[in-house]
Structure 1
Amino acid sequence: LQTNVQLGRSLANRVPALHRLHWIGGSAVKLEGGAEFVVLQPRSGSVVARCASATRAQIAAAIETARDAQPEWAERTWLARGEVLRKAAQLIREHLEPLAVAECEDNGKPIYEARMDVASCAETFDFYAGVGASLARPHYPLDSSHFVYTRREPIGVVGCVGAWNYPLQTCSWTTAPALAAGNAVVYKPSPLSPLTARLLAEILQEAGLPNGVYNVVQGEGETGAVLVESPRINKVSFIGSIMTGKTIVQACAARSIKHVTLELGDKSSLIILEDADVDSAVAGAMIANFFSQGQVCSNAIKVLVHRSIVDAFTARLVAKTAAMKVGDPLDESTKVGAVISKEHRAKVKAYIDGAVAEGARLLYGGREVTVAGLEGGFYLEPAILTDIREDMTVCKEEIFGSVLLVIPFDEVEEALRMANGTDMGLAVGVFTKNMSKAHKLAARLHAGNIYVNTYNDVSPFVPFGGYGQSGFGRENGLAALEHYTQLKSVFISTDENLQNPFQ
């Protein structure tokens, strides 16, 4: 794979080149000696790459490369680092279409969604290009001759473990603020969607990022474990499952204490009050469940609908869902693409079948789909279920698929109890025309993100993260940038003679 890759070439035509998925010290590297993993294209089920996982020694070498490069990068001013990030944003926009195709083929999501993700990635780099110098650095006058000023300094080397559902977007969420703050990065993508984080390395290099400041090591769970356990890593950022997040926290404390940001899963709810506009609520429920084949951490699988409108709501929801095309993600008319893997499709299907076995009623979908010409792809219809009990497995566990539960309620307190009845808390939505009710509910709901008459909105300007088991720290906004810095207080005395308290 050449340094200046022709991003417009199809992944299918670049299989041999994609053996070199590691990027260390500013170059594409083909590592050997580690366990091989296979990269499958979800839309077709075909093999697009084979890659050896980075070994412990190779990961250590990548970390040392980052440590060597980081001081010079940190010495640059916020504005100078911002120029590189702004150039990266420009290049991402210039290559939006080929990057979207790569993301689509890597992940299986429809091309229209992939375009939005790539555009969001550019916005994230643009935001962090200009915001760093505005970080608050308070000055504290203590008395007439003593004051304190504070400095925001880089943490050092950040080890990032990426998510497979939004490969490029979540990579930008961690990489852009880390680089803006003067850190170096060693990034490990998911082995299920490892390609676009690797392409980002070439964009950053072309934008002027010094060699070694952004590195990519590939592999499965063991690779991530070695990365986060290393005492030479100063901070870890992880986006993924709660189970893995718990393991990472333990690993980060086992050999050294380090900063950690976790953005984990949820069992979110969408509350639709009796005065809600039904068509808008249907749109909100679909947005809250069907993007990226339901593989979204903040999805509101529990759609709590006031009983007075539940019949009208359900009828329109089923009709709108049935009208969505399940098919080739590269087809412009496709609304539901391919699930990330055959195994994950089987897992989601098992939840649907299990719910029916427990007494739920399947109103629509839940069937595996065969797409002509892509018979090996991993396709599954969205499912809508009703007659749900709170003790059902489907109501308690995170599914991470397009499975929507319609649950009627009579009193708002009942809906509030069900929405808060989880130890997770990433997001909750409310649909109502009564803004007074909306604000009161927003204050009482236990989640890091509350959506009113909308859902699943994100912005690089706005902090995003969860309560409870959904993680800690924040992605996006100034809050995220602060998580990639450490705060130093400098105490100054202007007195020429310091009083000695021991005399």
Structure 2
Amino acid sequence: MAQSTLDSMPGASTGTVVITEPLNFWGGKRVKPREEKNAEPVFEPATGRVLCQMVPCGAEEVDEAIQSAYAAYQKWSKMAGMERARVMLEAARIIREEKIAKLEVINNGKTITEALGNIDFSWKSIEYYAGLAGTLAGQHIQLPGGAFAYSRREPLGVCVGIGAWNFPFLITTLKSAPALACGNAMVYKPSPMAPVTAVILAEIYKEAGVPDGLFCVVQGGAETGSLLCHHPKVAKVSFTGSVPTGKKVMEMSAKSVKQVTLELGGKSPLIIFKDCELENAVKGALMANFLTQGQVCCNGTRVFVQREIMPQFLEEVVKRTKAIPVGDPLLGSTRMGPLISKPQLEKVLGFVSQAKKEVQSALWRRSFVPSDPKLKGGYFMSPCVLDNCRDDMTCVKEEIFGPVMSVLPFDTEEEVIKRANNTTFGLASGVFTRDVSRAHRVAASMEAGTCFINNYNINPIELPFGGYKMSGFGRENGQVTIEYYSQLKTVVVEMGDVESLF
């Protein structure tokens, strides 16, 4: 494995790292761009300085990566599930020993505490699907006259993964682990804003023993993504990102009838009833809104609070929001780092300014300028709580993807369920109540792929994750994901003479 970047991580600090190695990977090695044109700067969110240059892959490079993946697939798919499992378990072991979290923080801006949790989840996801690799099987069916049939669960071929910038390394593992367990190869395109850790996973897979080319990384934006979606040797596309881009991925993939999994945006409701344990409800609301600077697709950003407890809830949630330490994401004491980019920061601040115009409410926010001189150019903002919101407000209807919590009062269960479901999204939902019957009744009523009861943003690898409505389709995580990275073949065996009508 090329160690230079990772070797520098133990002593690295914010504002010191520069990435010079190639970020593409296929044929078992890092690959330099053919041309340096159209290079895009990649910024360190905490400082605003240039971390590296991302050069998008063109048609020839994309084809080369896919051909490399297809050749590796021919070998990998013929291995027994237990053989694949042993290689994947070795990859999980290597991840546990690598210093990837710091590099993730430097490229993404999330806190080191969260990044360490993400890396922990990453090796667990590979370990989980390694455990399933040896269990993949079909059925045997006895037919009349001694004939029989059986089904075979087979891989799809070369799968494409297109990732998002909020969980760069984790999403890479969540897409590649089930794909590889089923016998597929994968060509992965990370977000152009967070491109540096996907290639680390490619090197880890190689070190673990996968065939050269089995997991490839190509860099680029929309044009590179389009080349991947249209390539005739690609069997499936798994995309995580925004709804508009997801629609384009689906449209492009449909032209050659590729399978598609879409994990898109959300504007999820969190419902807090007056009989809740208030301390837990406040903690849940904070976890539902401020992880990764609010840049989480399943965040519960519409917080519905029953009117009787609204004053107590607001007092406590604002007090705790004000106390969140914002600053250098590599410090263990920091609980909120910078947003991913300057345009994203400006977009989020624009939503807050718009909210001020739409309602005369107790709007809590404060400007944030880090005291550390090296952070002056970073993309920081303070977490924000918007009080007395209405369902028709822009901040309530549209996905903000920043640390902004919108709080709305409600009176009855029937009313709040109707309001909670009145959205085009359907990724997640949550409810806090001591009433067990109500909890399950509300969960059953939510038009969303996940409902958290008396907690929020708990997504174990064992459980399926995905959306309803415009939040996408297909599932990641859990055993069901095997269905999305494999296909069934039916084999019918006649043991006697053929009966013919002709």
**Matches of 1:209 and 1:37, distance apart in 2:** 31
Q: Superposition pairs for residues 71-110 of structure 1, below 5 Å?
A: 71-95=74-98, 98-110=99-111
| 1:494 aligned partner | 495
Looking at structure 1, the residues matched to 125 and 360 of structure 2 have their Cα atoms a distance apart, in angstroms, of 42
CA drift of 1:136 comes to: 5.0
2:265 and 2:399 in contact (8 A); partners too: yes
Distance 2:53 2:471 in 1: 33
Matching of residues 241-390 of structure 1 within 5 Å? 241-254=242-255, 256-365=256-365, 367-372=367-372, 373-390=374-391
- The letter for the 2-side match of 1:83 is R
Local SS of the residue matching 2:492: strand
Task: For residue 282 of structure 1, give the secondary structure of its aligned residue in structure 2.
Answer: helix
Partner of 2:34: 32
Counterpart in 1 of 2:8? 9
Q: Give the number of aligned pairs.
A: 496
Deviation at 1:133, TM superposition (A): 2.6
> Which residue identity is paired with 2:83?
A
Q: 1:16 to 1:192 in 2, by over 3 A?
A: closer
Deviation of 1:167 (Å): 0.5
CA drift of 1:219 comes to 1.1
- Relative to structure 1, the CA distance from residue 218 to residue 81 in structure 2 (aligned partners, 3 Å threshold; closer, same or farther) is same
Contact 1:318–1:363 (CA<8 Å) still a contact in 2?
A: no
In 1, Cα distance between equivalents of 2:250 and 2:43 = 30
Question: C-alpha offsets along residues 420-471 of structure 1, whole Å, 9 cap, x if unaligned?
Answer: 0012111000001111111111111100101000111111111100001110
Describe the shift of the 1:484–1:441 C-alpha distance in structure 2 as closer, same or farther (beyond 3 A): same
Residue equivalent to 2:120: 119
SS in 2 for 1:150: strand
Residue 441 of structure 2 corresponds to residue 440 of structure 1 = yes
C-alpha distance in structure 1 between counterparts of 2:371 and 2:448, whole Å:
38
Note the C-alpha offset of 1:150: 1.0
Q: Distance in 1 between matches of 2:312 and 2:3?
A: 55
Tell me if structure 1 keeps the 8 A contact 2:265–2:427: yes
Q: Which amino acid aligns with 1:442?
A: A
Is the contact between residue 366 and residue 382 of structure 2 (CA under 8 Å) also seen in structure 1?
A: yes
Q: Letter of the 2:239 partner, please give it.
A: F
Task: State whether residues 4 and 202 of structure 1, in contact with CA within 8 Å, keep that contact through their aligned partners in structure 2.
Answer: no
Secondary structure (helix, strand or coil) at the match of 1:69 reads helix
- Once the two structures are superposed, the pairs formed by residues 382-401 of structure 1 within 5 Å of their partners are 382-401=383-402
- 1:355 aligned partner, one-letter code: A
Separation in 1, partners of 2:495, 2:477? 39
Letter paired with 1:27: K
Question: Which moved further from structure 2: 227-236 or 364-373?
Answer: 364-373
Quote the residue 1:168 is aligned against: 169
Deviation at 1:252, TM superposition (A): 0.6
Change (3 A) 1:55 1:481: same
> How far did 1:70 drift?
0.8
Taking the aligned partners of 1:490 and 1:317, their CA distance within structure 2 comes to: 60
Cα distance change, pair 16–476 in 1 and its aligned pair in 2 (3 A)? closer
Aligned residue identity for 1:385: L
Structure 1 residue 224: Cα displacement:
1.1
1:205 offset after TM fit, Å?
Answer: 1.0
Matched residue type, 1:21: L
Name the SS for the 2:376 alignment partner. strand
1:114-166 Cα shifts (integer Å, max 9, x gaps): 00000000000000111123245222233352322111111000111111000
Matches for 1:140-179 after TM superposition, within 5 Å:
140-179=141-180
Superposed CA offset, 1:377-396 (max 9, x none): 11011110012121111111
Q: 1:62 & 1:362 partners in 2: Cα distance?
A: 54
| Residues in 2 aligned to 1:362 and 1:73: alpha-carbon distance in whole angstroms | 59
| Secondary structure at the counterpart of residue 379 of structure 1 | coil
Structure 1 segment 58-77 matched on structure 2, within 5 A: 58-77=61-80
- Bigger mean CA deviation after superposition, 48-57 or 306-315: 48-57
Q: Distance in 2 between matches of 1:331 and 1:178?
A: 35
Cα drift, residue 8 of structure 1: 3.3
Give the Å deviation of 1:413.
1.0
2 CA distance for matches of 1:25 and 1:382? 44
TM-score of the superposition, structure 2-length normalised? Answer: 0.96
CA separation of 1:395 and 1:69: change in aligned 2, threshold 3 A: same
Identity over aligned pairs, percent: 42
Structure 1: how far apart are the matches of 2:19 and 2:423? Answer: 46
CA distance in 1, matches of 2:370, 2:226: 37
More strand by share: 1
Q: 1:362 Cα deviation (Å)?
A: 4.7
Q: How far 1:4 moved relative to its partner?
A: 4.5
AA at the equivalent of 1:210: P
Aligned letter for 1:491? V
Q: Is the 8 A contact 2:152 2:489 kept in 1?
A: yes
Is contact 2:54–2:192 with CA below 8 Å preserved after alignment? no
The answer on whether the counterparts of 1:205 and 1:211 sit within 8 Å (CA) in structure 2 is yes
Counterpart CA distance in 1 for 2:457 and 2:19 is 37
